[in-house]
Amino acid sequence: MNKLQTADYIVFFIYFIAVSSYGYYIYHKKKSATTSSKDFFLAEGSLTWWAIGASLIASNISAEHFIGMSGSGFALGLAISTYEWMAAATLIIVAVFFLPVYLKNKIFTMPQFLAKRYSDTVSTIMAVIWLLVYVFVNLTSIIYLGALAISSIAPIGFEWCVAGLSIFSIVVTLGGMKVIGYTDVFQVLVLIIGGLVTTYLALALLSEQFGFGKDIFKGLSILQKEAPGHFHMIFDKTNPHYKELPGMSVLIGGMLINNLAYWGCNQYIVQRALGADLKTARKGILFAAFLKMLVPVIAVLPGIAMYVMHNNGMFQKEMVDAAGTIKPDHAYPTLMNLLPAGLKGIALAALTAAIVASLAGKANSISTIFSLDIYKKYFNKNATERKLVLTGRWVVIIAMLIAAIVAPALKSLDQAYQFIQEYVGFFSPGVLAIFLLGMFWKKTTAAAGLFGALLTVPISTLLKFLPLWTGGAFPDYPFLDRMTIAFLAIVIIMVAISLIKPKPVNDTHIIEVDQSMFKVSPGFIIGSFIISGILIALYTVFW
């Protein structure tokens, strides 16, 4: 099954040459600027709105979407799309309320915001936490899932895939944010086209299986008829997957906390917009929101189609492991193996584009945080611009090497996407609490920020493991509900600490915020209403 034809190699080779050549062109076009740390890490003033939007999506979409989200589509259904559709709504909030605060206060990294608002201690603690999560959860899982997918559809061993993806990503990342941002435009185009090709195959195959020819619209109707339970966005408590997506928490609870922390307080996401002016950055984020709504079409629908076909006797061997256990994450690779010569090469290029773009974005952010918030602050305060860029490049190489070594340890996972969401969720409640109170409540003290940084992991850990440690005496909350509880607990603690011991009058840790910063253009308002209308329609139809 995992064989490529000559046409596939040609298509993939064209993709590889195109990305490499374009990246090389962008790098040399602005070569003199790569000695500037702000240009290397932020591409200051160089990215257009469409490059910012495309880069946001390219950094976000990766193997965990194509493989992991399709697997969750197979197991849970359309409801997993809430991560994408609620993200579109969250991006609007970030563009209106978060972004102007960062740009007004000349924030380049998330730890820099914490140092300016709270203290260097809070900043360093969170910088270390972010670095650990980015390397050991994000980079590692993307490399693992990417290598797993590519090795299942191409005659390349898992270890060689790990090495190849890591090296390709390093090469792209070493050119700096400008190269990443503009090559991401090409990468997004490739991954959307390739993803649509695979979705078309899944629906056409399903329609053919039920005797209607290759009619994709008939395939869509068959999906809803054969798997009605897979087309509900909101689960009730009787649903076997309620713990993964607990009812209304996917709209107003943990999902909102998760998304606001990810899209509004996350270095490798926000970084794309920090080098632009407010108008350009907002247009880019709105563009990303529109693209985000397309993701379930290319990532979730193929998984549901595989569920229906598997239930009707197809792909019985392909969807199980050696022990006979159904493996939802096999859904997408199985579909890709069915693509005809040439189209399989396009799908492989799309998958590779998603993986490499995401790895490059995360690696760049790792190097940014380490170089500007750790190295310059504690190891070399007088580091030159050239030295910071050189340090950043070495950090990219070391981080990718560590992730490549750790990646094979994830082989025991069934639904990698859910694993990633849950364990990143250990940090999200505290991160969001610290940022929201730091931005919008002037009385928040440095001591409160320190407690928020220190408590986020312990509180989340207690909520997860107390039911096990107490033999079920403590409620076993779904992880999205645990995020809500943890967030509220940290906010209450931070507010209490701030009121018990108020800030001194001469405290200089102030973030500049005024109402005029939150005014938006008529075009942004129209775009936001269109996105909101589409989301309301989707949730109404598939409630």
As a whole number, mean pLDDT of residues 177-206 equals: 79
Per-residue pLDDT tens digits for 133-153? 888 888 888 888 788 778 877
- Among 6-15, 210-219, 464-473, 531-540, top mean pLDDT goes to 531-540
Q: Which pLDDT does position 528 carry in this prediction?
A: 93
Closest-CA residue to 122 (of 373, 303, 336): 373
Q: Which pLDDT does position 214 carry in this prediction?
A: 82
Reply yes or no on whether the pLDDT at 267 is more than 60.
yes
| Confidence tier at 33 by pLDDT (50, 70, 90) | very low
Burial 200-219 (b: 16+ CB within 10 A, else e): bbbbbbbbebbeeeebeebb
Reply yes or no on whether the pLDDT at 69 is more than 60.
yes
**In terms of pLDDT, which residue wins out, 324 or 106?**
106
Reply yes or no on whether the pLDDT at 505 is more than 70.
no
Terminal alpha carbon distance of the chain: 38
What residues pair up with 326 in beta bridges, in sequence order?
320
Q: Which pLDDT does position 92 carry in this prediction?
A: 94
Reply yes or no on whether the pLDDT at 130 is more than 60.
yes
Q: Which pLDDT does position 37 carry in this prediction?
A: 63
Q: Which residues are within 8 A (CB) of 154 and not within 5 positions of it... i.e. 6 or more apart?
A: 2, 3, 4, 161, 348
Burial 239-270 (b: 16+ CB within 10 A, else e): bebebbbbbebbbebbbbbbbbbbbbbbbbbb
Residue 290: exposure state from Cβ atoms within 10 A (0-12, 13-18, ≥19):
middle
Reply yes or no on whether the pLDDT at 211 is more than 90.
no
Reply yes or no on whether the pLDDT at 436 is more than 90.
yes
Flag the least confident range among 25-29, 124-128, 301-305, 486-490: 25-29
Q: Which pLDDT does position 282 carry in this prediction?
A: 93
| Confidence tier at 491 by pLDDT (50, 70, 90) | very high
Q: Which pLDDT does position 419 carry in this prediction?
A: 63
Reply yes or no on whether the pLDDT at 506 is more than 50.
yes
As a whole number, mean pLDDT of residues 122-126 equals: 89
| Single-letter amino acid, residue 297 | V
**In terms of pLDDT, which residue wins out, 398 or 211?**
398
Q: What is the mean pLDDT of the chain?
A: 83
As a whole number, mean pLDDT of residues 67-89 equals: 87
Residue 532: exposure state from Cβ atoms within 10 A (0-12, 13-18, ≥19):
middle
As a whole number, mean pLDDT of residues 56-75 equals: 79
As a whole number, mean pLDDT of residues 20-26 equals: 74
Reply yes or no on whether the pLDDT at 63 is more than 70.
no
As a three-state string, the secondary structure of 113-127 is: HHHHHCCHHHHHHHH
Reply yes or no on whether the pLDDT at 537 is more than 50.
yes
Q: Which pLDDT does position 34 carry in this prediction?
A: 47
Per-residue pLDDT tens digits for 97-110? 999 999 888 888 88
What domains appear along the chain, each with residue ranges and CATH number?
6-16+42-366+397-417 (1.20.1730.10)
Q: Which pLDDT does position 359 carry in this prediction?
A: 85
Q: Which pLDDT does position 42 carry in this prediction?
A: 60
Q: Which pLDDT does position 32 carry in this prediction?
A: 47
Reply yes or no on whether the pLDDT at 389 is more than 70.
yes
Model's pTM, two decimal places? 0.84
Integer Cα distance of 96 and 98 in angstroms: 6
